[in-house]
Structure 1
Amino acid sequence: MGADAEIGALLRGARCAARYTQAQVGKACGYSASAVSRIESGKLRIDYPTLLKFAAFLRIAPEQLRASAVPGMTNLATVAGGCRSDEEDEVRRRELLTGVVAAGATAVVGASPASAAAAPVNLDVALFRLPQAEPMPLPQLVEQIAAARRDYCATQYARLGQVLPGLIASATATRDASTGWIRQEADLALARSYVLAAELATKQHSDAAWVAADRALAAARCSGIPVAVGEASRQLAIAMRRSGRSTAAVHLLTKEAEDLDASHDHTGAVRTTLLLTGAYSAATGRDRSTALSLLDEAEQEMERHPAVPGLFTVEATRTQVDAYRISVLNALGTPDEAVKVAARLNVDRMPTAERRARAWTDVARMWNALGDSKQTFAALRRVEQEAPQEVRRPALRALTAGLLYGPTRIEGVREFAARTGALVA
């Protein structure tokens, strides 16, 4: 869900909770009922003062606005004031990443209300204040990173957040104390630990994804291993896309894909994944021709090379290509075209809980865009079955709130909203 759509969903949920009509909200904020409808659907962008006016009338706390931005405050600022210069963006990122503005990242994704305060990990701060660590034997470091990756794939985000700062510190110390080929392997380990940090920061809607991805790419290039460069480039492109720079993200992904030797299975699989991410990035920028072209290219690449387990958190399989096709068609505003894809999608074939939950999330968004509340809720329930921590993410809480306060009464939604944090007190 883009920033405009997610802010719109938050406004709609608050309006329905307050039992206001779109006409009443529009009158209070100086808009027509049809304009309010477009704002709530993410089709009309409003400036920051107007957003604050809506929030004040609907009694939405600033913290909720920050938590619902994608990612963090960067996209909220994009919604508020249009495009900024690169220099302004860089200043803003530095402020965010050094903790001046936390953008809601102090809460661990998926933590229960009772435990969230007990074990928060603010990656915005943690990446700049790594703990002291000693070098460790390379096999031990590799195994710890593999264990952290398993936590991510199992959606154990709270536990991952606790171990990542120390893991990155250990990888850095090991790299700095090494020479020769061992240093190259340590650079690879460090790159992959930062990739995991970028993945988690993205889940948290935190701008720490920028710095983690940048550091991952620097370490990957030092390792000289193309697979690692592809992994890190993908994360950097995701951070770019989520801050509204879809075109730049597509350029980075396609350039990295071109540079890979696709004749080998490993690099061919990486290339498939880069093309899939590029397709979705193009779709978020409403570039239909590029998005569909990259999707088709990824599918052809996937057919030429078998999936290679362990390269990415995303596997280069037909099932994954279908899941991406649904997300691309959702982003392009043509969810009706995704229905037949969803009908053949076998989510159970995906190897990790994180990927299965993501696929059901895209299916939920598809049905929501088509106005089918019951099918939307059924898909959200599948997300919860696969990964309880996923349904507490801001984007899914907004989707749940839309069902809770929408016109269709659905049995079980209120209880679902209560346990996932979407119920407005």
Structure 2
Amino acid sequence: MDPTRAAWESEEVRAAAEAGNYGAIVRAVRQATPLTLEELAKLCGYSISTLSRLERGKQRLRDVEVLRRLSIALQIPPHLLGLSDTASPSVHAPRPVARVNVNLAPDEETDPMRRRTLLAGLTGLAGASVLGTATPSLASANPVSALERALLDPPVKNATPVTIAQLRTSVAEAKSVFQLGRYTEAATQLPRLVSTALATRAENDDKPSANALLADAYTLASELTVKLDLKHLAWTTADRAMQAAHDSDDLLTQAAAHRAWAIVLRRTGHADAAQRLISSTIAALQPKLHRGPEHLSVYGTLLSTSAYTAAVDGDRDSARSLTAEAVEAATRLGSDANHRFTAFGPTGVGLYRISVARALGDYGTAIDVAKQIDPASIPLAERRARYWSDVAHAFHEWNKPEHSYRALLAAEQASRDEVRYRKPIQNITTSLLQHPTAHRMPGLQAFARRTGAVA
């Protein structure tokens, strides 16, 4: 496009305007600006999935308030979106109720068979919350702040190197703590682990192995800081993981670092770059799959991550095809496992299917997929907490607040840190507090305090 022309002056926009296709106008201007769906969502106050549906014509775009917000956010002349040039009075618009653009089976509240599946796992949690869950005690020194200082300050120079075998054990222990959903404990361990890994690399002759383990430590740090919503640290640690991994001779370590970097890219609005990186890594792994379950597990995890990235970007076709490939890889693996700490297998892919459906705005589908998984069969607390978090998010968007709250309590049961640190959980909790049915959710105020949603 000619840089001297406004984004809305393109032929594509003119054609869409003549056809009255407001969604196509928004998509064309957003991409020409350029803005990601995530960035536009922040500007206008709507969810990524809602904007994706609006752009693709899956949801009618005729609400005047929505059109006006998009017009302002993208600097589109109001008349192109069928609006008058007169500004509307400033009002606080109610949160739009999400629509489910799939054919739903009978509602779980009216179908007794469906009530005995997913909702059976939620029974009693609201009542239990009245008794209260003990508020986790805070350490005198905030481990998250300590981790931030350790990663941003120059490396500790008096760290003691260890053998490769000892370092491998320490890295594995830290990864296990993370998978147990104990993020505070992982944050406490990581500064010393990274310092030890750096000292070991400096002193050990086996540089490739030392670099691989240092990359694993940084990859874990990136995954943790993503959980904690520390974007600057996630970017920093993922970049360091990439550098160390490329100095190792381990393809799987490199693939894990690439995945961590791709997740950071996606979360910072660079979905296309993330997909290119994952695709090239998948292509490098494909000829090596005969080497065993570790390669297949890392390969399947990359496919799952790519499917979710496509879903977040509103690319429904790619999300579906990549999910199908991940399912095929899980079937080939044969059973759930935790090779290379991937937690990959049929259940693991099922968890991603929930996330993909939710990201696409198919909340009914997300719940249907969730009902096919027995949460008690998910062995890792971090994954079990993520399962319940996705279920809570889907029910929340589906305007079922009480179901959403019960799922949040289940997520807290799996991992207190999952609900204590995750921004989406806090946002849902804040919304529940404001819902007219809040009085029917016993213990909600106490839960909100435990999660930090309220002081």
| Pairwise same-fold verdict (TM > 0.5) | yes
Is 1:399 paired with 2:399?
no
2:385 to 357, 360, 374: 357
Q: What is aligned with 2:265?
A: 240
**For 1:92-123, what per-residue CA distance to the aligned partner results, in whole angstroms no more than 9, with x for missing partners?**
xxxxxxxxxxxxxxxxxxx9585476444255
Tell me how far 1:274 sits from its aligned partner.
0.2
Per-residue displacement from partner, 1:199-228 (whole Å, max 9, x unpaired)? 111012112111211211222222211111
1:381 corresponds to: 409
Residue 325 (structure 2) aligned to one of 297, 304, 316: 297
Q: CA deviation at 1:338?
A: 2.0
Residue matched to 1:35: 65
CA contact (8 A) 1:319 1:347 kept: no
Once the 2 structures are TM-superposed, how far is the Cα of residue 372 of structure 1 from its aligned partner? 0.7
Residue number among 161, 164, 167 corresponding to 2:193 in the alignment: 167
Deviation at residue 229 of structure 1 after TM alignment: 1.1
Q: Give the direction of change, closer, same or farther, for the CA distance of 1:384–1:34 in structure 2 (3 Å limit).
A: farther
1:151 offset after TM fit, Å?
A: 1.4
SS in 2 for 1:145: helix
1:136 and 2:166 matched = no
1:257 corresponding residue in structure 2? 282
Amino acid in the other structure paired with 2:216:
R
DSSP-derived class of the 2:340 partner: coil
Structure 1: gaps of 5 or more residues: 12-31, 48-56, 59-110
Aligned 8 A contact 2:411 2:419 in 1: yes
Q: Which amino acid in 2 is paired with 1:278?
A: S
1:17-56 alignment, distance < 5 Å: 35=65, 46=73
Question: Residues 172 and 190 of structure 1 are in contact (CA less than 8 Å); yes or no, is this contact kept in structure 2?
Answer: yes
Cα offsets for 1:101-148 (capped at 9, x unmatched): xxxxxxxxxx95854764442555422322221211222211111111
Give the structure 1 partner of residue 207 of structure 2: 183
Report percent identity of matched pairs. Answer: 33
Aligned length, in residue pairs? 338
Distance 1:176 1:128 in 2: 20
Residues 384/221 of structure 1: CA separation in 2 closer, same or farther (3 Å cut)? same
Query: 1:35, 1:44 within 8 Å by CA — same for their partners in 2?
Result: no
The answer to whether the Cα contact below 8 Å between 1:123 and 1:208 also exists between their aligned partners in 2 is no
Pick from 318, 327, 334: which aligns with 2:362? Answer: 334
Q: Which amino acid aligns with 2:435?
A: G
- Once the two structures are superposed, residues 7-48 of structure 1 have per-residue CA deviations (whole angstroms, 9 ceiling, x without a partner) of 98899xxxxxxxxxxxxxxxxxxxx99637997xxx99958x
Q: CA RMSD in A?
A: 3.0
For residues 157 and 289 of structure 1, what CA distance do their matches in structure 2 show? 35
- The answer to whether the 8 A contact 2:405-2:441 is kept is no
Segments of 4+ in structure 1 off by > 3 A? Answer: 1-11, 36-39, 43-47, 111-120, 122-125
Question: Aligned-pair distance for 1:337?
Answer: 2.1
The answer to whether the Cα contact below 8 Å between 2:333 and 2:345 also exists between their aligned partners in 1 is: no
> What SS does the aligned partner of 1:135 have?
coil
Equivalents in 1 of 2:448, 2:46: separation in Å? 14
Secondary structure class of the residue paired with 1:282: helix
Q: Secondary structure at the match of 1:238?
A: helix
Task: Please say if residues 426 and 448 of structure 2, whose CA atoms lie closer than 8 Å, have aligned partners that are also in contact.
Answer: yes
Distance 1:37 1:391 in 2: 34
* CA–CA distance in structure 1, aligned partners of residues 72 and 301 of structure 2: 31
**Which residue identity does 2:199 align to in structure 1?**
A
- Say whether residues 1:202 and 2:233 are aligned partners: no
Q: Tell me the CA shift for residue 365 of structure 1.
A: 0.9
Structure 1 residue 420 corresponds to structure 2 residue 451: yes
Higher mean Cα deviation, 208-217 or 115-124? Answer: 115-124
Whole-angstrom distance in 2 between the partners of 1:382 and 1:160:
22
Closer, same or farther in 2 for the Cα pair 1:333/1:163, shift >3 Å? same
Letter in 2 for 1:311: R
- Partners of 1:366 and 1:422 in 2: how far apart? 19
Mapped contact 2:143–2:187 kept (Cα < 8 A): no
Residue identity matched to 2:289: A
How far apart are the structure 2 equivalents of 1:114 and 1:214? 30
Amino acid at match of 1:121: S
Partner of 1:408: 437
2:294–2:339: 8 Å Cα contact kept in structure 1?
no
Q: Could you tell me how far apart the structure 2 residues matched to 1:224 and 1:415 are?
A: 50
Partner of 2:172: 146
**Contact 2:308–2:356 (8 Å) recurs in 1:** yes
The 8 Å contact of residues 389 and 408 in structure 2, kept in 1 or not, is answered as yes
Q: Can you list the C-alpha shifts for 1:252-281, whole angstroms capped at 9, x where unaligned?
A: 112101100222321111100000000001
With normalisation by structure 2, the TM-score equals 0.68
Counterpart position of 1:368: 396
TM-score by length of 1: 0.72
In the alignment, is the contact (CA less than 8 A) between 1:278 and 1:291 conserved in 2? yes
The one-letter code sitting in structure 1 at the alignment partner of 2:273 is: A
Distance in 1, Cα, partners of 2:417 & 2:152:
26
User: For 1:45 and 1:359, how far apart are their aligned partners in 2?
Assistant: 36
Q: Residues 175 and 220 of structure 2 are in contact (CA less than 8 Å); yes or no, is this contact kept in structure 1?
A: yes
Structure 1 contact 195–232 (Cα < 8 Å) conserved:
yes
CA distance in 1, matches of 2:320, 2:72: 26
Alignment partners' CA distance in 1, 2:306 and 2:182:
27
Q: Distance in 2 between matches of 1:386 and 1:5?
A: 30
The CA deviation at 1:341 is: 0.8
SS at match of 1:311: helix
